[in-house]
Amino acid sequence: MRSMRLSYISPAASAAAQNPNYGRKKNVSAAAPPSAAASTTVLTSPPATTTTTRTPKQTEQEEEQLVAKNKTTRTVTATTNGRPSRVAPSQAQSRPRRRPAPAVAAASASLPVTFCNALEEVINTFIDPPALRPTVDPRNVLTSNFAPVDELPPTPCPVVRGAIPRCLAGGAYLRNGPNPQHLPRGPHHLFDGDGMLHSLLLPASPSSGADPVLCSRYVQTYRYLVERDAGAPVLPNVFSGFHGVAGLARGAVVAARVLTGQMNPLEGAGLANTSLAYFAGRLYALGESDLPYAVRVDPDTGEVTTHGRCDFGGRLVMGMTAHPKKDPVTGELFAFRYGPVPPFVTYFRFDPAGNKGADVPIFSVQQPSFLHDFAITERYAIFPEIQIVMKPMDMVVGGGSPVGSDPGKVPRLGVIPRYATDESEMRWFEVPGFNMMHSVNAWEEAGGEELVLVAPNILSIEHALERMELVHACVEKVRINLRTGAVTRTPLAAGNFDFGVINPGCLGQRNRYGYFGIGDPMPKIGGVAKLDFDRAGAGDCTVARRDFGPGCFAGEPFFVRDDVEGDGNEDDGYVVCYVHDEGTGENRFVVMDARSPDLEIVAEVQLPERVPYGFHGLFVTQAELRSQHQ
């Protein structure tokens, strides 16, 4: 792999204890945000890892929070305004190469910092609107199991039911999701929290008697470090949007911080809170508004560390989708980025060694759109252009989110050869009423003349970002005839199913089974359903289902194939996820038999800490953990 540009990020101690007395207003800490030079370093090898332990006071506070969470009234937990403690890392043998210092010296930065902090407090106290939309009101958003948690050092967890299957031994299940490190000041959307990884390392030998190990750590992005040292949020959020005079004022304060050297926008402002990917010997935390962040799970201790922001030798700029596609046959990774300026979509790929290829700008997308996911087949890539669009000018003029629905737009699917060097061969097919947020799989049939796409269709697209509890997703099989241009659609199930996964070895190839989260309602997932795609056209294709019970909700399921004791069938494996019981406060890692008619639970691990509801997860095998680059 080519050398990567990694921003050095020191391991942090557990976050400051949370204040159960929630209030939307919060004082601004006088601590100065770090300069770009102070917080980032280019390394040729990562530093040694350090861990922290919890104090008795922190433990007592966490127990009080658990009791408060089980009350019937809705509460929100939040970190205090104090600056979290920091653990100095052991220095690696290779000496880091420092970046140039900013123009404003640290000694002269105190006055600008104090001034900016004072302005933030004025905005927070006097300018913020007295009432916020429920979607961006933190008192509504950060409730129940959506509330943030503190970091958790590697902690043993007992297996309380069954036994961990051998194919999972020594691997780790990771789930990414938003977990704001500070109490939001002003609007806050669910999508805008700092990325936190919840990793469960499973024992290498089921008969060893060793317990699984849970570790929860922030992805230490540049944004995370700036706001950690500031003791409060200082950068604007994307989905929370622009809210009148308060939004304009906060934008001016951010500009002042940049001009006075308090932060460097070239280091990125992403959250890395959406998903994970493993390829070319590295594990990445992904968020589409920034570059990937390399992270590592220690295969012996379970500790999770952030190694840095990766630009792949300077060839990757701006951002990358949180849903890249890794071809299981070739080992290549296919991806794209989208943004508010032309070209609104850019397609690219990586070879199996992790070297990024040339950009393929797609100028036929003539409006900035919210393009969250896509699909690949053996020879093609398929892009959806849906009715969710980016409206930066509407945000400035009318306030609110820069992303919204456009009911007058006709959704369409774009097909481009997988190895295209330009978009000259790209074809677009209008598919009225088909709004695909997540893809499940795609493949070719009829000698390559037909493309088949399986994906949930968001029927109530106007609620996708504002009222997610009103969203209904219908899984469909879409068939595109490349010769005639005809597009046909077949519903596969009546249920509210999303977050679909398949056997990863079938990506881009014809497959039969998919596993979906059951919206109860979205974004909560009350169970898992298995669909048989071969039954399309013969009624509901649901062939197995597991409901977690009243008050129990999970995140996205993930399929792990059984390559140890399995017989090679597509559905020979296990479906795993975290499950939270809102009644008792218990949290468990659940392993289900993917072939059984009721998705039988074969193993459960009791977790020592709450895992908030989040987004996407990944299972990393023991071999992959051992082969991670240092």
Which residues are annotated as part of the binding site?
323, 372, 438, 616
CB 33 within 8 A of CB 234: yes
Alpha carbons 116 and 52: distance in angstroms, whole number: 32
Terminal-to-terminal C-alpha distance of the chain: 13
Q: Which residue is it, tokens 């809102």?
A: 582
Could you tell me where the beta strands, DSSP code E, fall in 436-572? 441-445, 450-458, 473-481, 487-491, 497-501, 513-519, 525-532, 542-547, 552-554, 558-561
Alpha carbons 304 and 180: distance in angstroms, whole number: 18
Q: Which residue, 227, 286, 40, 228, is CA-closest to 236?
A: 227
The tokens for 420 are 């295209």
Alpha carbons 412 and 613: distance in angstroms, whole number: 31
Rounded to 10 degrees, what is the CA torsion of 625, 530, 552, 53? 0
Cis peptide before 343 (omega within 30 of 0): yes
What is the CB neighbour count within 10 angstroms for residue 340?
Answer: 12
DSSP string covering 248-292: HHHHHHHHHHHHTTS--GGG------SEEEEETTEEEEE-TTS--
| Burial classification of residue 491, based on how many CB atoms lie within 10 Å of its CB (0-12 exposed, 13-18 middle, 19 or more buried) | middle
Pairing of strands 152-156, 159-162: unpaired
Alpha carbons 266 and 357: distance in angstroms, whole number: 22
Alpha carbons 448 and 375: distance in angstroms, whole number: 16
The tokens for 348 are 């690219």
What are the CA-CA distances from residue 157 to residues 154, 199, 468, 606 (Å)?
10, 12, 33, 6
Pairing of strands 325-326, 304-309: unpaired
Q: Which residue is it, tokens 């700029």?
A: 317
- The region that residue 8 occupies, defined by phi over 0 for left and psi between -120 and 50 for alpha, beta otherwise, is beta
**Helical packing angle, 244-259 and 110-122, nearest 10°:** 170
SS3 of the chain: helix, strand, coil, percent, to 5? 15, 30, 50
Element (H, E) at 573: strand 573-581
Amino acid (one-letter) located at 354: G
| Binding site members for Fe cation | 323, 372, 438, 616
Positive/negative CA dihedral, 391, 394, 396, 399 = negative
